[in-house]
Amino acid sequence: MKIILFLLCCITHAAFAQQDAWVYFADKENVEASLQNPLTILTQQAVDRKNLHNISIDVRDVPVSAFYIATLKATETIAVLAKSKWMNAVHVRGTLKDIEALFSFEFIRKIDFADRTLTDLARPNPQHNKSSVVTTTNDFVYGNAKNQTDMIQVDALHNADYTGDGIKIAVFDSGFPNVNTLTAYKRLRDANKFMGGYDFVDRTSAIFAYKGSSHGTRVLSTMAGFIEDKFVGTAPDASYYLFRTEDATSENPVEESYWVEAAERADSLGVHIITSSLGYNTFDNANYNYTPEEMNGSTTFISKGANIAAEKGILVVNSAGNSGNTTWRIVTAPADAPGVFTIGAVDSNGDYAFFSSRGSIFQPTQKPDVVAQGLGSFVIDETGVIVSNNGTSFSAPIIAGAIASLWQAMPTATAAQIKTFIRSSASQYESPDDLLGYGIPNFNAALSLTLSTKVADANSIKVYPNPVSDQLYLRFPSHTKDGKLQIYNVFGQLVREQVLTKALLNIHVSELASGLYILKIKSDNTTHSHKFIKQ
């Protein structure tokens, strides 16, 4: 009898306690009209970026139905906390009973509870089973930032005048107090490189007040901070959007939804890079906690959103996490996602930082991707003082800023190509592991790879397919003379050389190790360079 009474109490508590859930809609409004007129749903910059990289504008770009959201809000017992056009879903809070009652609306397709033991209670709606298709130089004195900058050789990019200019970065974090007044961001403000921001937690554009955390201010400094002769971030001339998606006072899955909503906003604004020093695995309500096995890149709402952001052409950078010396040990969401460029941490000597979260067998791709200094990183705090902090929270934006500087050098490259350049330049590219991933990247080497395509008449000789696994085919214009063919690996080492004749129509590359290579064709006193990826 006591056992039955206990179970009844548990059921009653679950029914009346506030729960978080994702409610998925069956369809969207005005899809065809929106896709035919994309400027009604995206900015011109976003459309231009997608066209540049041949990224389709699809139903996921169409906003969530305002009517559906208004209908849920009108129930009064349900709080709608966030929305996601990519997922065609909203994040709601209410009792189990009230959330289940939403199935009375025929436009509800599915409900996933944050407490996954309750999801079986969320029955599919039998009445509605529609599915959705889803060349001057900069004389910077880096000061305290010198070691973390030199380690990845981003100073070489700055010396070549690649400082992130023209690249848009969205920073997702928990607070950005005093960014609007600190001297460290005067360069950013004077150049009108602060593009705006939004607080998704409090639903306000006021993002510079202190709201329990100055973490975002410190993260931003590793990229955008500039104090003459004392500190230079890795992308001092990039443009920045600041989005607060993390509530430092609590830990709840709604923060995943805020993150995805911010990613959608970033995509609509034409952002190139998202950098996020956030991770989720446990919550204030233990029923919402994830298991290590669920860090598989496709289970959590935030990782699903991060993967879509990558599909949309955004380069998503995320910290690996600081659980390396805890019982959890491994990366958290969204760092587990295949589409995310996950960054671990090393110390000032380039050795593994004891706290840096590790990859595991649960992730479908190598995690972390690369590493940077996260133990003893120098940052600028909310008072404008240069201090030393620890965490992958800082190694991640250090890399994100370096990526912006690299991308400026080759703006037509895709996010996938940029990631390949960086991995291929890293210190242990040939033997990645779960501690350092591919290792410490060399952005000077990555820069050489990007610039190798800027050779005169580079398109006069066709090299395909790319990527390649077995045979690389060549097509020459009729005027090509005999010469020499060479293949170099990412470290500049010659791995193949042979005589070039017009009879040479294909090259066997199956024996080459996987990675990025430079093919040089020397003919008639000219050199043509082509990058190719060996799978």
What are the residue boundaries of the structural domains of the chain, listed by start? Answer: 14-29+65-121, 146-451, 458-534
Catalytic residue among 98, 174, 214, 215: 215
Strand partners, 522: 484, 527
Query: In sequence order, which residues have a C-beta less than 8 Å from that of residue 291 and are 6 or more positions away?
Result: none
CATH 2.60.40.3080 fits 458-534, yes or no: yes
Q: What is the CATH number of domain 146-451?
A: 3.40.50.200
The pTM assigned to this predicted structure is 0.77
Tokens (6 digits) for 203: 């639903």
Six-digit token string for 117: 């033991």
Quick one: pLDDT at residue 306?
Answer: 97
Dihedral sign computed on CA atoms, order 334, 96, 100, 66: negative
pLDDT tens digit sequence for 284-299: 999 999 999 999 999 9
Catalytic residue, from 20, 61, 98, 173: name it: 173
Running DSSP on this structure, what letter comes out for residue 487? E
147: helix, coil or strand? helix
**338 preceded by cis ω (within 30°)?**
no
Segment 149-163 mean pLDDT: 92
215 is catalytic: yes
Q: What are phi and psi of 247, to 5 degrees?
A: -95, 110
Q: In the chain, pLDDT over 70 holds for what percent of residues? A: 87
Please answer whether residues 371 and 346 qualify as being in contact, where contact means their C-beta atoms are separated by less than 8 angstroms.
yes
In this structure, are strands 231-232 and 370-373 parallel, antiparallel, or unpaired? unpaired
Q: Of 393, 424, 523, 529, which residue is the catalytic one?
A: 393
Tell me: the pLDDT tens digits for 336-386?
999 999 999 999 999 999 999 999 999 999 999 999 999 999 999 999 999
Span 428-467, pLDDT tens digits: 988 999 999 999 999 988 887 665 544 333 345 677 676 7
476 pLDDT band, cuts 50/70/90, is low
> Identity (one letter) of the amino acid at 112?
D
Cβ pair 289, 222 in contact under 8 A: no
Strands (E), 108-206: 108-113, 168-173, 194-199
Taking the C-alpha atoms of residue 466 and residue 114, their distance in angstroms, rounded to an integer, is 42
CATH match of 14-29+65-121 with 3.30.70.80: yes
- Dist CA 34 CA 42 (whole Å): 10
